[in-house]
């Protein structure tokens, strides 16, 4: 009996922890098993915008049940793009009775492996999907355990206000004809609940600091009604540099760019921070770059997107807007794309690392002019309607178009501020 107790104790103290350690190690691998490029095209951005427009909450009654049907290829695109933001990739396929997922996710620095590779097959049910097969790295996970882990993940999601708001609104999920079909119930308080959850309190306080600085700067009676973007960037970056003495320069730069983009584009931060509707209002000014208001808008939007999401999305949104303009708007403009790309470079440099963030702060404080931020664009083709664009450049991605984009990239790369 004593020997049995000893062996049981040994099993609990040594064998079980060892097995758990080996299981964790088996989840990590040195190389990704799945590698895919993540590039958003203007057509894909346009399709996403049409879906969002069709489900505009302003057209929904409180408590109304609605259904959104997302094609499998769009779901695949979105998941792969999200995975790419952390250096990984993903693929999902929807079948009539199965959801197939493959993903390679870049792991945080650790001594056992750089990637977590996941392969899974699940089938839809009236509730949560149920796993038929799940493998993480070299570790096969039994279905019972996989489904238990999924249920715990949903519990953790419900513990977060944003996750709970989203889960409360979703009433059903199924797969039909290659589409993911989601039935949801719209509630009037949902946007505010999501916005409150998406921007943590610490980030809201950080944004408030830069908003207040804009209020102070724009209230100056000596400031002209039309101001250069440089005249707003400089005081915000000076504040960022000062706060970075005891804080993260990347987080400070990011908040400065977000606050600036919302101001320049005539939107209040209440769009992402509900409490901001009660903040003091900045005095409206026309903000220009190279003498143009549209350049400052393109630049700041792209800078904020690059600082918060990454350049592929920023580039795609910029190109999509120009394609849309060519179909009856102001026309396709390579000059606007130059402003998009310059803003993207600024945003990337501001948050790439602590070193580049501080370097950008130093250069701006030393003194910059518009030509340091924005390449020459006066000679770039613009105001082209669809017929003219196709005659001169064929289509997005055609050789003439690619040559023009390469020239814009060359001009942006030549700016010393981004080196």
pTM of the model: 0.67
Which is nearest to 213 in space by CA: 280, 261, 285? 280
Q: Which residue shows structure tokens 């708001």?
A: 165
Cβ neighbours, 10 Å, residue 403? 10
Separation of alpha carbons 377 and 249, rounded Å? 31
Cβ neighbours, 10 Å, residue 111? 6
What are the residue ranges of helices labelled H in 29-95?
42-54, 72-84
CA–CA distance from 320 to each of 134, 186, 266, 383 (Å)?
A: 38, 29, 21, 15
**What is the model's pLDDT at position 330?**
77
* pLDDT, tens digit only, all 419 positions of the chain: 555 554 555 555 555 455 555 666 677 888 888 788 766 666 766 666 676 666 665 565 666 677 778 888 888 877 777 777 677 888 888 887 788 888 898 888 888 788 889 999 888 776 667 888 889 888 888 888 888 887 777 776 566 555 565 666 677 777 888 888 877 776 665 556 555 556 778 888 999 999 999 999 999 999 999 999 999 999 999 999 999 998 999 999 999 999 999 999 888 888 778 888 899 999 999 999 999 999 999 999 999 988 886 544 455 555 555 666 666 667 899 999 999 999 999 999 999 999 999 999 999 999 999 999 999 999 999 999 988 999 999 888 889 999 999 999 999 999 989 88
Supply 106's token pair: 């870049």
| Partners of 141 in beta bridges | 134
Q: 106: which DSSP letter?
A: E
Given a contact cutoff of 8 angstroms between Cβ atoms, the answer to whether 101 and 118 are in contact is yes
Write out the DSSP string of 258-271.
HHHHHHHTT--GGG
Cβ neighbours, 10 Å, residue 167? 12
Helix (H, G, I), strand (E, B) or coil at 295: helix
Supply 163's token pair: 């996750």
Q: Report the greatest alpha carbon distance in the chain.
A: 91
**What is the model's pLDDT at position 8?**
55
**What is the model's pLDDT at position 320?**
57
Supply 136's token pair: 């993480």
**What is the model's pLDDT at position 311?**
42
Separation of alpha carbons 348 and 83, rounded Å? 19
**What is the model's pLDDT at position 145?**
84
Given a contact cutoff of 8 angstroms between Cβ atoms, the answer to whether 207 and 258 are in contact is yes
Ranges of each domain in the chain: 26-190, 199-418
Which is nearest to 141 in space by CA: 161, 121, 169? 121
**What is the model's pLDDT at position 260?**
96
Q: Which residue shows structure tokens 């390579």?
A: 334
Strands (E), 96-166: 98-106, 115-123, 130-136, 139-141
Write out the DSSP string of 347-398.
HHHHHS-HHHHHHHHHHHHH---HHHHS---TTS--SB-HHHHHHHH-STTS
Sign of the CA dihedral running 118, 124, 126, 132:
negative
Given a contact cutoff of 8 angstroms between Cβ atoms, the answer to whether 171 and 184 are in contact is yes
Which is nearest to 287 in space by CA: 271, 273, 303, 276? 303
Which is nearest to 341 in space by CA: 290, 385, 257, 406? 406
């Amino acid at each position: 009996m004593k020997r049995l107790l000893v062996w049981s104790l040994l099993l609990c103290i040594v064998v079980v922890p060892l097995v758990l350690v080996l299981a964790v190690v088996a989840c990590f691998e040195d190389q990704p098993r799945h590698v895919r490029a993540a590039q958003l095209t203007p057509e894909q951005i346009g399709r996403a915008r049409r879906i969002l427009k069709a489900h505009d909450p302003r057209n929904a009654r409180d408590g109304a049940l609605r259904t959104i049907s997302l094609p499998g290829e769009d779901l695949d695109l979105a998941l792969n793009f999200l995975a790419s933001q952390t250096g990984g990739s993903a693929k999902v396929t929807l079948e009539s009775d199965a959801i197939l997922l493959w993903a390679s996710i870049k792991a945080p620095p650790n001594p056992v492996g750089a990637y977590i590779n996941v392969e899974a097959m699940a089938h839809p049910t009236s509730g949560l999907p149920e796993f038929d097969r799940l493998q993480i790295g070299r570790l096969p996970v039994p279905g019972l355990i996989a489904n238990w882990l999924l249920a715990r993940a949903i519990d953790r999601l419900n513990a977060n206000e944003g996750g709970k708001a989203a889960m409360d609104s979703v009433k059903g999920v199924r797969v039909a004809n290659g589409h993911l079909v989601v039935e949801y119930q719209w509630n009037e308080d949902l946007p505010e609940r999501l916005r409150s959850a998406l921007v943590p309190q610490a980030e809201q306080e950080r944004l408030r600091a830069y908003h207040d600085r804009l209020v102070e700067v724009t209230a100056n009676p000596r400031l002209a009604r039309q101001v250069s973007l440089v005249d707003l960037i400089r005081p915000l970056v000076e504040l960022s540099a000062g706060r970075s003495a005891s804080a993260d320069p990347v987080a400070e730069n990011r908040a400065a760019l977000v606050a600036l983009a919302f101001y320049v584009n005539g939107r209040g931060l209440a769009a992402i921070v509900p409490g901001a509707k009660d903040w003091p209002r900045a005095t409206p000014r026309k903000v220009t770059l190279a003498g143009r208001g549209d350049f400052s808008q393109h630049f700041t939007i792209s800078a904020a997107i690059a600082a918060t999401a990454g350049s592929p999305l920023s580039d795609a949104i910029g190109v999509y807007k120009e394609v849309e303009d060519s179909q009856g708007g102001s026309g396709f403009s390579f000059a606007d794309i130059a402003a998009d790309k310059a803003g993207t470079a600024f945003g990337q440099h501001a948050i790439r690392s602590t070193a580049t963030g501080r370097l950008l702060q130093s250069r701006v404080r030393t003194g910059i002019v518009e030509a340091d931020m924005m390449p020459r664009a006066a000679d770039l083709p613009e105001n082209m309607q669809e017929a003219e664009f196709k005659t001169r450049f064929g289509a997005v991605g055609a050789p003439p178009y690619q040559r023009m984009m390469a020239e814009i990239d060359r001009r942006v790369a030549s700016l010393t501020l981004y080196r």
